[in-house]
Structure 1
Amino acid sequence: MLATRFTLFIAIMAMISSLAYASDPDPLQDFCVAVNDSTAAVFVNGKICKDPKTVTGDEFFFSGLNRPGIITSPVGAKVTPVFVDEMPGLNTLGISLVRIDYEPNGGLNPPHAHPRASEILVVMEGTLYAGFVASNSKDPSIRNKVFARTLYPGDVHVFPRGLIHFQMNVGETKAVAFASLNSQDPGIITLANSLFGSVPPIDPRVLARGFQLDNNVVSDLQSRLWIQN
């Protein structure tokens, strides 16, 4: 009888253990609305997989990160991504890359977050002030603490997944950095764009009270043209 109970206990624990390790994969889309339609396309990581028999080497190749990005953004920086849209062979591999070019004296990759990836950045040219902000921790000693420093060529900085981070060129010459992210499509939430450039606009009363700003200031910010960097 004891042996039987022990065997049953082991079986139950094995089942519980398997359930504990089972979970949904991290989503690679902002949302996925369920549809009861057998004709709908099936996506894997937000993309439809190509028939392997038709795959060529071109899908695993990207050229051009040796060329400076053309900066047209008012913030003075240009991000050149190599995500799954630029390199289809990245699908399901969980990695991506970007080049960032910064204008002298203040070129900025503005405060933003990647909901699906951590980022590691290496400076190639110039001098950057870079950092991230910790979350609203219960511990007041680290609540919203800024972890930032000045970076020089060859320096490396990491930005944890989902946390707000930024880089600014504090030198008098151009700056260049490369960053790798552990997602084929890390997602980008640029705070100013999302809050003041949303479509349709957020009720100004929400932003005015949330940021402790005058309604006229919010209206002015919402009237501006917020473009992707």
Structure 2
Amino acid sequence: MSPSYTVFLLAFFVYLSCHAIAFDPSPLQDFCVADKRSQVLVNGFACKNPDDVNPEDFLFSGLDKPGYISPDLGSNVTLVDVHKLVGLNTLGISVARLDLAPNSGLVPPHIHPRATEVLTVLQGTLYVGFVTSAPNFKLIAKVLNKGDVFVFPIGLVHFQYNIGRVPVVAFAGLSSQNPGVIPVAKAIFGSNPPISDDALAKTFKLDKDTVDRLQSEFWTATN
């Protein structure tokens, strides 16, 4: 076997191994309903005994109704992930309903660390976008109308903003049973314990009084 061919094979198998661990493995059984009472620590939830599985493990009801619209942001996101629908465990998918009030409803900049999101607008006009990573930090944004579909790549900061005169209703599919969410503002100014105000003042080119004021604000889980 020639040295060049050996190098090629080694590189190929390194690529395969890296690719294999970059994504969730394919399920090895029909389902793995999450057993939230299990004390076994795994990357996800342990499986419920199949003999104890019932139809309710695969059912969530209520996405036909809007969620509570918060007055500060004018929005609500109802996420149905593995915590609310245990049958999603290991299946690599979840769903969310977005409701945004007219004119100013906002789902502020946030990140899903474990999922790509694909959004479909059912009603209203929505301004959406995401920002690419370094070094360009390019804003990819679009105004969406009823029937439009937009995708937000995994791990990138993105947002949704109602610029129309009617409520927005949209549904999102996410490529993880537990996509997670990191609201940018809350993560920075509402962390527990707080990030050093000196560090934040230097980062954002603000005075410490402004940083202290921002840190004293009430940041909700969706900020």
TM-score (norm 2): 0.85
- SS state at 1:58 partner: helix
- SS state at 1:213 partner: coil
Check the 8 A contact 1:127/1:150 in 2, yes or no: yes
In structure 2, the CA distance between the partners of 1:53 and 1:19, relative to structure 1 (3 Å rule), is: farther
In structure 2, the CA distance between the partners of 1:165 and 1:16, relative to structure 1 (3 Å rule), is: closer
Give the counterpart of 2:94 among 71, 93, 96: 96
Amino acid at match of 2:116: S
- SS state at 1:68 partner: coil
Check the 8 A contact 1:45/1:91 in 2, yes or no: no
Tell me how far 1:15 sits from its aligned partner: 7.3
Task: Compute the RMSD of aligned alpha carbons.
Answer: 2.3
Partner residue, 2:214: 221
Partner residue, 2:117: 119
- SS state at 1:216 partner: helix
Give the counterpart of 1:185 among 154, 178, 181: 178
Q: For each residue in 1:118-156, what CA deviation from the matched residue of structure 2 results, as whole angstroms up to 9, or x when unmatched?
A: 11001111111101111112xxxxx11111111111011
- SS state at 1:217 partner: helix
Check the 8 A contact 1:96/1:183 in 2, yes or no: yes
**Aligned residues between the structures:** 207
- SS state at 1:86 partner: coil
Q: How many percent identity over aligned positions?
A: 47
Give the counterpart of 1:129 among 102, 127, 130: 127
Amino acid at match of 1:93: L
Q: For each residue in 1:79-110, what CA deviation from the matched residue of structure 2 results, as whole angstroms up to 9, or x when unmatched?
A: 00110011101110000000010011110000
TM-score (norm 1): 0.83
Amino acid at match of 1:155: D
Q: Does 1:55 align with 2:53?
A: yes
Partner residue, 1:22: 17
Unaligned runs of 5+ in 1: 28-39, 138-142
Tell me how far 1:48 sits from its aligned partner: 1.8
Tell me how far 1:194 sits from its aligned partner: 0.3
Unaligned runs of 5+ in 2: 25-37
Check the 8 A contact 1:71/1:77 in 2, yes or no: yes
Amino acid at match of 2:182: I
Check the 8 A contact 1:73/1:227 in 2, yes or no: no
- SS state at 1:222 partner: helix
